[in-house]
Amino acid sequence: MDKAVVLIAEELSPATVDALGPEFEIRYCTGADRASLLAALPGADAVLVRSATRMDAEAIAAGTRLKVIGRAGVGLDNVDVPAASRAGVMVVNAPTSNVVSAAELTVGLLLAVARNIPQADAALKGGQWQRGRFTGVELSGRTLGILGLGRIGSLVARRMAAFGMRLLAHDPYVPAGHAERLGARVVGLDELLESSDFLTVHLPRTPETTGILGFDALQRVKPGVRIVNAARGGIVDEAELYAALKEGRVAAAGIDVFATEPCTDSPLFELDNVVVTPHLGAGTAEAQERAGVAVARSVREALAGRFVPEACNVRLGEVDAELDPWLALAERLGGLFTATAGALPGRLRVTVGGEIARHELAALELATVKGILAPVVEGGVTYVNAPLLAQERGLDTELVTGAESTAHRSLVRIEGTLPGGEHVSVSGTLTGHRGGERLVELLGHDVDVPLGDGLAFFLAPDESGLIAGAGEALARAGAAVESLRLARTGGDDGTVLVAAALAAPLEPAALDDAAVRMGAVRGWGLERRR
């Protein structure tokens, strides 16, 4: 089988490729070069990007076999997440990988604009020993205004408290008490602007925050303020900042991010009181390794068709790790439901009983739908597109929880009525320390077989010698039978269910042949998960 292709579109830590492992073909392109990106995407199952690759609707459409976009970093403003969701493409990022590095760069920029370090360095290397020209200010005792008290803003708060700064914060969306625990006082935007000697920006770029430090805000700042932006370009209006720096209302600025990147030409670059870096917030070995390894792991999971907790466009909230094997079971049972039904029901009921019923089960419901649709949908079913595909096929799902499971500690049952009126049901559980998947009911027949590979089922009239006849029929059809079970109880149509565990799945023609030989009314199989 061909290896899945992972396309690396930007410079990533070598640890990324190591974490992907040998089972992928790795290809490279230059994501910032549109032609290179669009030419490489059609062959890729996954693409790994940083902030310079625009994964918009056009690029996502070009990735005809794309299943996952891995953003080796935090910001997703270069990824059209809704377009990815429509295309069934999972988007994963590494939201905490580089926050310490970004906070540390912020500290560096705050020190640089306080003490003119880069300017003094450049002057001295240019042969000038000028000490008075670069006299700065102390941070200690001054007021730092933090705009956005999320992950990075909070790390900056802790670090700058150690410098003896007074902390103010503006962030209407953090819980009460968070700022106080960091030693910061929460204030409105006006007070933040009017009272801060230093202002540092840690907001996401949203319609609300774009230009938030524009003409009006820069008119209200404390004269002589120093501003640092290591969040996103465009949050500080570059033209207005330039004007305020020229006037001296803003004494200095440290800027890591620009409205348009790469940015190699800006009026800001002409000003002595500006320190700039080329989007270096995440530019450390540690951050790159963390980001690369995190997305590599998520990509491996996503390409294996498993649930990825870090997926940004699967809205299931936190999924308890204890539930993972149950998701796999539900998906497997969904596949068996479709193999048994040969059609989709209009309405599907997923009943979860016993101990696992206390968990949040939206992911398990989705895993079931994924398993049910996978055998019948071309192009792959993922946790991302399963709800949309179900809707398109008119498949409604009802989740029933809390039912007692008397025979098993926990049980998952899937049932639905087909358009022809036939009721189909399948139930399974996990047993033993290693959580082996077991089928415990099929079409109302009580069975107990491992949900292994190569299962085959037959419905046959209840006659003596059936088990011997079934064994012989399967052997003649070329099957290596590992075990045979007869399920007499539960069915109400006079047939018994023969469940055969085979060493390898049988081809459909061989299954039919075996069914005819044993006098079964029908036979069907469950193939190995791909």
Ligand X SMILES: O=C(O)[C@H](O)COP(=O)(O)O
- The residue whose two tokens read 């059809």 is 477
Instruction: Pick out residues in 155-194 that bind ligand NAD (CB under 6 A).
Output: 170-174
Residue 265 binding ligand NAD, by CB under 6 A: no
Residue nearest ligand X (C-beta atom): 73
Q: Residue 50 binds what, of ligand NAD, ligand X, none (CB under 5 to 8 Å, by partner type)? A: ligand X
How near is the Cβ of 94 to ligand NAD at its closest, in Å? 10
State in angstroms the smallest separation of the CB of 217 from ligand NAD: 12
* Residue placing its CB nearer to ligand X in the complex, 48 or 327: 48
Does residue 209 belong to the site contacting ligand NAD (CB under 6 A)? yes
34 is catalytic: no
| Distance spanning both ends of the chain, measured CA to CA | 11
Q: How far apart, in whole angstroms, are the C-alpha atoms of residue 462 and residue 494?
A: 7
Enumerate residues 6+ apart whose C-beta is below 8 A from 433: none
Q: Which is nearer to ligand NAD, 281 or 454 (CB)?
A: 281
Least Å distance, CB 408 to ligand NAD, is: 42
Can you tell me the distance from the alpha carbon of 501 to that of 485, in angstroms, rounded to the nearest whole number?
A: 9
Binding mask 137-156 for ligand NAD (x = CB under 6 A): -----------xxxxxx---
Q: Which residues contact 35 (CB under 8 A, 6 or more apart)?
A: none
CA distance 92 to 175: 26
Is residue 232 annotated as part of the catalytic site, yes or no? yes
Phi and psi at 386, nearest 5°, equal: -55, -45
Interatomic CA distance for residues 39 and 27, integer angstroms: 12
| CA nearest to 373, candidates 403, 341, 406 | 341
CB nearer ligand X, residue 282 or residue 412: 282
- Residue 309 contacts ligand NAD per CB under 6 A: no
- Please say if 279 is a catalytic residue: yes
Q: Verify binding: residue 519, ligand NAD, rule CB under 6 A.
A: no
Rounded to the nearest whole angstrom, what is the least distance from the CB of residue 92 to ligand X in the complex? 13
Strands 4-8 and 24-28: parallel
Sites of contact with ligand X (CB under 6 A): 50-51, 73-75, 98, 279, 281-282
> Which residue is nearest to ligand NAD, using beta carbons?
150
Nearer Cβ to ligand X (6/364): 6
Smallest separation, CB 98 to ligand X (Å): 5
**Residue 188, Cβ density class (10 Å: 0-12 exposed, 13-18 middle, ≥19 buried):** exposed
269 token code pair: 């670059």
From the list 235, 242, 272, 271, the residue with the least C-alpha distance to 256 is 235
Q: Which of 35, 128, 31, 131 is nearest to 73 (CA)?
A: 31
Q: Which of 251, 241, 196, 188 is nearest to 221 (CA)?
A: 196
By CB under 6 A, name the one of 231, 361, 455, 497 that touches ligand NAD.
Answer: 231
Phi, psi of 5 (to 5 degrees): -100, 125
Of 50 and 226, which has the nearer Cβ to ligand X? 50
SS3 351: strand
Sign of CA dihedral 478, 479, 484, 485: negative
Which one, 203 or 245, has the nearer CB to ligand NAD?
A: 203
Q: Among ligand X, ligand NAD, none, what does residue 146 contact (CB within 5–8 Å per kind)?
A: none
Taking CB under 6 A as the rule, does residue 129 contact ligand NAD?
no
How many residues of this chain interact with ligand NAD, rule: CB under 6 A? 31
Least distance CB 301 / ligand NAD (angstroms): 23
Question: From CA 373, how far away is CA 106, in angstroms rounded?
Answer: 48
Question: Min. distance of Cβ 52 from ligand NAD in angstroms?
Answer: 12
The one of ligand X, ligand NAD, none whose footprint includes residue 151, by CB under 5 to 8 A per kind, is ligand NAD
Q: Does 310 bind ligand NAD (CB under 6 A)?
A: no
CB of 59 to ligand X, least distance (A): 16
In three state form, how does the secondary structure of 475-521 look?
HHCCCCEEEEEEECCCCCCCEEEEEEEECCCCCHHHHHHHHHHCCCC
Among 50, 232, 413, 445, the one annotated catalytic: 232
Binding partner of 170, given ligand X, ligand NAD, none, CB within 5-8 angstroms per partner class: ligand NAD
Structure tokens at 72: 């080796």
Sites of contact with ligand NAD (CB under 6 A):
74-75, 98-99, 102, 148-153, 170-174, 202-206, 208-209, 230-232, 256-257, 279, 281-282
Catalytic positions, please? 232, 261, 279
